[in-house]
Amino acid sequence: PVAPGGRILIKGGKVVNEDCSEMSDVLVEDGKIAAVGADLQVAGEARVIEAAGKLVLPGGIDTHTHMELAFMGTTAVDDFHVGTKAALAGGTTMILDFVIPQKGTSLLEAYETWRNTADPKVCCDYSLHVAVTWWGDKVKKEMQTLVQEKGVNSFKMFMAYKDIFMLQDHELYAAFSQCKDIGAIAQVHAENGDLIAEGVKKMLSLGITGPEGHELCRPEDVEAEATQRAITIAHAVNCPLYVVHVMSKSAAKVVAGARRSGRVVFGEPIAAGLGTDGTHYWHKDWAHAAGFVMGPPLRPDPSTPGYLMDLLANDDLSVTGTDNCTFSVCQKALGKEDFTKIPNGVNGVEDRMSVIWEKGVHSAKMDENRFVAITSSNAAKIFNLYPQKGRIAKGSDADLVIWDPQATRTISAKTHHQAVDYNIFEGMVCHGVPVVTISRGNVVYEHGNLLVEPGHGRFIPRKPFCEFVYKRVHQRDQVAKPCAVKRMPYSVIKYTKEPQ
C-alpha cells in the first residue's frame, strides 16, 4: 500500500507534539519526516492519507518490555515478532526491552544473544537496556563496552529476587558509580528482597498459598523503602536514577518528594498500574487472580491508578512503559499450589496507549500534549533518542500514529494481537483508537489490518551522557565539589598551656 518511493502525505490532521498542537500536513519520505506544515504541496507521486478530525501523534515508545523472556521456569509467550506487531496495532512504534544475563555470566554475550534473537523478528524499532545481576570487574568492564560500542545507555539493577538477580547496597553503589562514569542512566527494580523473603515465609506459614499472598508478602512499604534507598545511593554518587515499574502510591510519593528536593530521578508507572489494581488478587477464580501477578504487585488500594495518573500529569512521574511479560494461564498454573511459583508478568504493550488516553485524557487529568510527553517524548529524551524519536518534526523518524480521540474500542483477549490467552484489561472500553500506524515511513497498521513482516524494525543505538539527564549532574560535579578547609598546620606548642 506504499506508493513508489515510499512517500506518504498525511493531510488535514492535528499534529500533536509534547509542547503544542497545530493543524498541519505531514510529508513522509524514505523513512523520515520530510516536511510538516499547512497545505503541503507535493510534486510527484505520494499516497495521501486523510486525517481530518484525527490527531497525528509521535508513535508510542514503550520503555519496558520482556519479549520471550525465559523467567521463573518458563518463557514469555509474546516473542519479538508477535509482541512488536501487537505494539504497532496499539500505536506503539518502539520498545525498549531488557537483556537479563544470568548471575555470573557475561553481559556482552547476553546482549549479543538478545540482538540475534530480536533483530530478525522485530516489526518495530527497538533498543535494549541491560540488567546488572551480579558485580565484579568483568561486569564493570563490559558495561563500558556496551556503552561505547553497543548502543546501550541504561542498566537495570534489581533490589529484589534475592539469590537470583538481587544486588547488595555496596554493589548498587559500585554499579551506580560505573553508570555515572560511563554516562549511563541507572535503573532500579525497587523492592526490598530480604523483606520479601521473610514475607513469603510468613504467608506460607499462615497457609496463604494463593495469589493474594503475592501482594501480602510485599506490601507498599517494601517498595517505598527500596525506592528511597536507591535514591539515596544514587544521590551519594550523583548518578541519575530511573525507577522502573512504580506500582504504589507510597513509592510514587518517594519519587515525587525526591524530585521536589532536586534529585535527578525519573519514575515509570506502567499500563497495568494505571489501568487496573490489585483487588483482583482476591478474586475467587484462581486463574483470574494469577493473571495479575507481577512484581512489584498491583496494589489493592483502588485509588492507586488515578493517583499515579495525577502524578504523571504534573511531572512527578515522567514516562510510561508496560513491563509486558506475558505468560498464558497454563504457565501461570506452575504456581497453582504456591504463589511464589506463579511466573511474574502481565500484558500491556498493545493496550498502553488506549488505556492511558482513556484514564488520562478522556478522564480530563491531562491534555493531548502531556499524553505525547508521557507516552513518547519523555522516553526519547531520557534515553537519548530525541528528536529522532518522540517528535513530529522535519528530519525525525517517520514513526507516527493517526489517532481517533472520539472512537472507542473494547479491550479483549478475543481480539487482541498478543500471543497471551487473557488480558488484564478485559472488557475495558477505551476512547482513543489508533487508526493508522506508520513505522519507519511505512504504513504497518491500517483499520485493523497489520501489514508488516518480521525484521522490519531496527535496533536503535543510543549514546551516553544524554544532556537531558546529565546536564544537571555535571553542573553539580563542577560547582558543588566538596573541598577541604585551608588551615595552618596543627602546632603542639600553641595548644600546650604554659606551666604556672
Q: Residues in the site for ligand URP, rule: CB under 6 A?
A: 66, 189, 245, 294-295, 323, 325, 344-345
In the complex with ligand URP, which residue's Cβ is closer, 28 or 382?
A: 382
Nearer to Zn ion, 11 or 283 (CB): 283
Residue 294 partner contact from Zn ion, ligand URP, none using kind-dependent CB cut-offs of 5 to 8 Å: ligand URP
Which one of Zn ion, ligand URP, none interacts with residue 280, CB within 5 to 8 A by kind?
Answer: Zn ion
Distance CA 490, CA 355 (A): 67
The conformation of residue 105, written as its DSSP 8-state character, comes to: S
- Give the nearest residue (CB) to ligand URP: 344
Instruction: Supply the DSSP symbol for 375.
Output: I
CB environment 398-424: b (16+ within 10 A), e (fewer): bbbbbbbbeeebebeeeebbbbbebbb
**CB of 268 or CB of 399, closer to Zn ion:** 268
Beta carbon of residue 481, minimum distance to ligand URP (angstroms, whole number): 36
Quote the least distance from Cβ 268 to ligand URP, whole Å: 11
Q: Pick between residue 351 and residue 397 the one whose CB is nearest to ligand URP.
A: 351
- Decide: 267 and 316 in contact? Cβ < 8 Å: yes
Q: Which is nearer to ligand URP, 55 or 226 (CB)?
A: 226
CA distance 478 to 417: 50
Q: Give me the least distance between CB of 280 and Zn ion, in Å please.
A: 4
For residues 54 and 10, the answer to whether their CB atoms sit within 8 Å is: no
Out of Zn ion, ligand URP, none, what residue 138 binds, judged by CB under 5 to 8 A for its kind, is none
Sign of CA pseudo-dihedral 129, 345, 228, 196? negative
Residues 208 and 281: their CA atoms lie apart, in Å, by 12
Q: Report the distance separating Cα 13 and Cα 34, nearest Å.
A: 16
Do the beta carbons of residue 268 and residue 242 sit within 8 Å?
Answer: yes
Residue 129 grid cell: 537496556
Closest to 476 (Cα-Cα) out of 233, 156, 180, 256: 180
Nearer to ligand URP, 49 or 132 (CB): 132
Of the pair 13, 295, the CB lying nearest ligand URP is at 295
Q: Min. distance of Cβ 235 from ligand URP in angstroms?
A: 23
What is the nearest approach in angstroms of ligand URP to the Cβ of residue 263? 23
- Cross-strand bridge partners of residue 187: 156, 242
Q: How far is the CB of 291 from Zn ion (least distance, A)?
A: 8
**What is the distance between the alpha carbons of residues 386 and 124, in angstroms, rounded to a whole number?**
17
Residue nearer to ligand URP on the CB measure, 72 or 254: 72
Given Zn ion, ligand URP, none, residue 7, with its beta carbon under 5 to 8 Å by kind, binds: none
Residue 455 has φ and ψ, to the nearest 5°, of 95, 0
Distances (CA, A) of 416 to 85, 91, 99, 325: 11, 13, 26, 15
Helix, strand or coil, per DSSP, at residue 316: coil
- Nearest distance from C-beta of residue 342 to ligand URP, angstroms: 10
Return the number of the residue (17 or 187) whose C-beta is nearest ligand URP.
Answer: 187
Do the Cβ atoms of 327 and 345 come closer than 8 Å?
Answer: yes
Partner from Zn ion, ligand URP, none binding residue 283, C-beta < 5-8 Å depending on class: Zn ion
Q: Residue 265 or 294: which CB sits closer to ligand URP?
A: 294
d(CA 100, CA 102): 6
* Minimum distance of ligand URP from residue 278's CB (angstroms): 13
Residues written for the chain: 500
b (16+ CB within 10 A) / e for 3-19: eeebbbbbbbbbbbbbe
Q: 189 or 359: whose CB is closer to ligand URP?
A: 189
Instruction: Select from Zn ion, ligand URP, none the partner in contact with residue 179, using the beta carbon and a kind-dependent cut-off of 5 to 8 Å.
Output: none
Instruction: Name the minimum Å distance from CB 324 to ligand URP.
Output: 9
Question: Smallest gap, in angstroms, from Cβ of residue 322 to Zn ion?
Answer: 9
* Residue 316 binds which entry of Zn ion, ligand URP, none, CB below 5-8 Å type-dependent: none
Q: What is the phi/psi pair of residue 383, to 5°?
A: -100, 15
The binder of 345, among Zn ion, ligand URP, none, by C-beta within 5 to 8 A per type, is: ligand URP
Helices (H), 21-79: none
Cβ proximity to Zn ion, 295 vs 387, nearer residue: 295
Omega before 387 cis (within 30°)? yes
Cα–Cα dist 310/294, whole Å: 23
Instruction: Give me the residues that bind Zn ion (CB under 5 A), please.
Output: 189, 280, 283, 323
Q: How far is the CB of 191 from ligand URP (least distance, A)?
A: 9
Smallest gap, in angstroms, from Cβ of residue 66 to Zn ion?
A: 5
Residue 380 contact, options ligand URP, Zn ion, none, Cβ 5-8 Å cut-off depending on partner type: none
Among Zn ion, ligand URP, none, what binds residue 344 when CB lies within 5 to 8 Å by partner kind? Answer: ligand URP
Question: Is the separation of the CB atoms in 186 and 176 below 8 Å?
Answer: yes
